[in-house]
Amino acid sequence: MSLKPLFHQAIQNALLTLDLKESDLPNYTIEAPKDPSHGDLSTNIAMVSAKAAKEAPQSIAAKLADALRTQSDLFIDIGVAGPGFINIRFKSSVYHQEMKELAEHANVFGRNKAFDGKKIILEFVSANPTGPLTVGHGRNAVLGDTMARLYEWCGASVTREYYFNNAGRQMRMLGESVKARYAQQLGKEAELPEGGYEGEYISEIAATLVEGHGNALLSEEGEGVFKEAAEKTILEDITRTLDRMQVKMDSFFNEHSLYENKAIYDVVEKLNEKGLVYQKDGAVWFATSQLGKDKDTVLIKKSGEPTYRLPDIAYHRDKLDRGFDLCIDIFGADHIDTYPDVLRGIDVLGYDVSKIDVLVYQFVTLVKDGKPYKMSTRKANFVTLDELMNEVGSDVTRFFFLMRSPSTHLEFDVAQAKEASDKNPVFYLQYAHARIQSVLRKVSEELGENRSGDVEWSTLEHEAEHSLMKKLFFFPDVIETAARAKEPHKVITYLQETAQEFTHFYHECRIMGEPKNVMASRAKLAEVTATVLKNGLSLLGVEAPESM
């Protein structure tokens, strides 16, 4: 069901005839040439092996090409190009056999074992419960959930975790803000604390407390019932928003638990035992200058409140102690200068820091007609994720957050997102799937329920048919590549190319009006294409409609 393993095995067989072992050679690549006229697949094995073999790449390539030609059941053409690339083209019979197997397992096609048996935890979103999720949180949520889906399709056991803090200054300020609005609604004079939360959602929480308790809470402190009510309401609101985006968390980890179980103080003690902690100006410092950083880092402020690095070190110890093979954090670009301190702490505490990986994404700007776009909002000076979904829908919101590499700034074009035409990339893919379903319904009317029994893959010899087949074969490789690179936008690129290949096939190869065996075979190719599109869209958390 994939051409790469076939070529890989053929290379291994060829190496044996030359008394070479793959294990003795450097890693080599097998890729589709950028120019399809060069062949189906290409490898650089001759070039990367030249130094070890003490032989010119072209000479090695020529020998391997000759050895590959002995496997005449696979290849119709084998050539050497440029500095030593080996290009191959498979026989039609290979395409037909692979399509037969693909069609029999289409619903799970794309799943692979690249991370088989791995236990992975992804920590993402992790917004403190001080307000609704914003557009910025949305990119984080969609990236984290899509990466989790990719790892699951690669065989991993995945835990999605939301790490939040319901303690500290922000939460105290939240409670005081609700208390102030509560008093104001009861006709009392009260001012929001400096730096307090001004959004309408604060007044809504206060109104609920007035309705439930009247004026009985006027003497209560902000950190008591007011903070608790706000936290509960906001977390429920966050969960509803995530549900709308098809993001389901497996666990919620409360940062405050690291204080309760003394984990953060244990970190300080362990670092102190290693001579990496000292006190200065009333604060507790981490001697990161001894670990490659140009200056030391504050762990506990002179106010006695830890900086975020300290509980984060304790949190990552906890994740590794839970036995995860890979711990992935989804962070915004504002963390780029600070998370290395966490890794330094984990490293010196004796943990395998290679098990921690960080995906840093750039921020999002809403634009319309090329200009910054501000939606009206009643919740504060920001656009909530719910407001964006109300404007363009949850499918489009997810898709647009994934369209660009996480490392690039994302301009979310609201006008394009709302357009129901081929200019909207998610509409284009959904329409491609729906159009195939429409064709299949017509074929079923023509051939009846037994249309699958008339499939003869050997009838498919047209260039457009082979080009579409070849694109389908690469789906598992795309999923693995996207998972390893942490770049889910590669799936979108693949799906767009697949839809384009189908359009070319559909224009070049009629389905209706052909002999029954040709009609059935081309319809089956279209059906498999629709399944691959659906599988890919499901990885993105986007619906594949049957009609539009």
- The whole-angstrom separation of Cα 192 and Cα 168 is 18
Contacting residues for 64 by C-beta, under 8 A, at least 6 apart: 11, 14, 15, 18, 45, 46, 86
Question: What pLDDT does residue 378 have?
Answer: 46
Residue with tokens 């954090």: 329
Distance of CA 76 to the CA centre of its chain: 38
Question: What pLDDT does residue 95 have?
Answer: 95
Question: What pLDDT does residue 452 have?
Answer: 67
159 Ramachandran zone, left/alpha/beta (phi>0; psi -120 to 50): beta
Phi/psi at 479 (nearest 5 deg)? -65, -45
Question: What pLDDT does residue 541 have?
Answer: 97
- The whole-angstrom separation of Cα 489 and Cα 143 is 10
By the 8 A CB rule, do 420 and 427 touch?
A: yes
Residues of the chain with pLDDT under 70: 1, 375-381, 449-453
Nearest to 510 by CA among 499, 521, 501, 500: 521
What secondary structure does DSSP assign to 211-242, as a single string?
HHHTTTTTTS-IIIIIHHHHHHHHHHHHHHHH
Contacting residues for 76 by C-beta, under 8 A, at least 6 apart: 89, 90, 91, 92
- The whole-angstrom separation of Cα 152 and Cα 8 is 25
- The whole-angstrom separation of Cα 220 and Cα 156 is 48
List the chain domain ranges.
3-90, 169-244
Residue with tokens 């404007």: 391
Q: Write 196-202 long-range contacts (CB < 8 A, 24+).
A: 197/130, 197/131, 197/173, 197/380, 198/380, 198/381, 199/131, 199/132, 199/379, 199/380, 200/378, 200/379, 200/380, 201/131, 201/132, 201/234, 201/237, 201/379, 201/380, 202/177, 202/178, 202/230
- The whole-angstrom separation of Cα 371 and Cα 256 is 42
Question: What pLDDT does residue 487 have?
Answer: 98
By the 8 A CB rule, do 487 and 406 touch?
A: yes
What is the SS3 assignment for 114? coil
Residue 22 DSSP one-character state: G
- The whole-angstrom separation of Cα 470 and Cα 488 is 21
Side-chain half-sphere CA neighbours of 497 within 13 A: 16
- The whole-angstrom separation of Cα 548 and Cα 535 is 18
Please state which CATH number belongs to domain 3-90.
3.30.1360.70
Nearest to 399 by CA among 107, 146, 134: 146
Contacting residues for 392 by C-beta, under 8 A, at least 6 apart: 400, 414, 417, 418
* H/E segment holding residue 89: strand 85-90
Nearest to 398 by CA among 217, 138, 179, 166: 138
Pairing of strands 356-361, 364-368: unpaired
| Alpha helices for 509-545 (secondary structure H) | 516-540
pTM value? 0.93
Contacting residues for 133 by C-beta, under 8 A, at least 6 apart: 125, 127, 141, 238, 241, 242, 384, 385, 386
Question: What pLDDT does residue 375 have?
Answer: 58
Tokens of 205: 């929480």
**Letter string b/e over residues 296-332, b meaning 16 or more CB atoms within 10 A of that residue's CB:** bbbbbeeeeebbbbbbbbbbbbebbeeebebbbbbbe
By the 8 A CB rule, do 534 and 425 touch?
A: no
By the 8 A CB rule, do 544 and 535 touch?
A: no
Tokens of 390: 């109300």
- Per residue in 279-293, pLDDT tens? 999 999 999 999 999
448 Ramachandran zone, left/alpha/beta (phi>0; psi -120 to 50): left
Question: What pLDDT does residue 1 have?
Answer: 59
* H/E segment holding residue 273: helix 263-273
Question: What pLDDT does residue 110 have?
Answer: 95
Nearest to 289 by CA among 303, 275, 301: 275
Tokens of 31: 């890729």
- The whole-angstrom separation of Cα 383 and Cα 385 is 7
- Per residue in 361-397, pLDDT tens? 999 999 987 888 775 544 566 789 999 999 999 999 9
Task: Count the Cβ atoms, other than its own, within 10 Å of residue 111.
Answer: 16
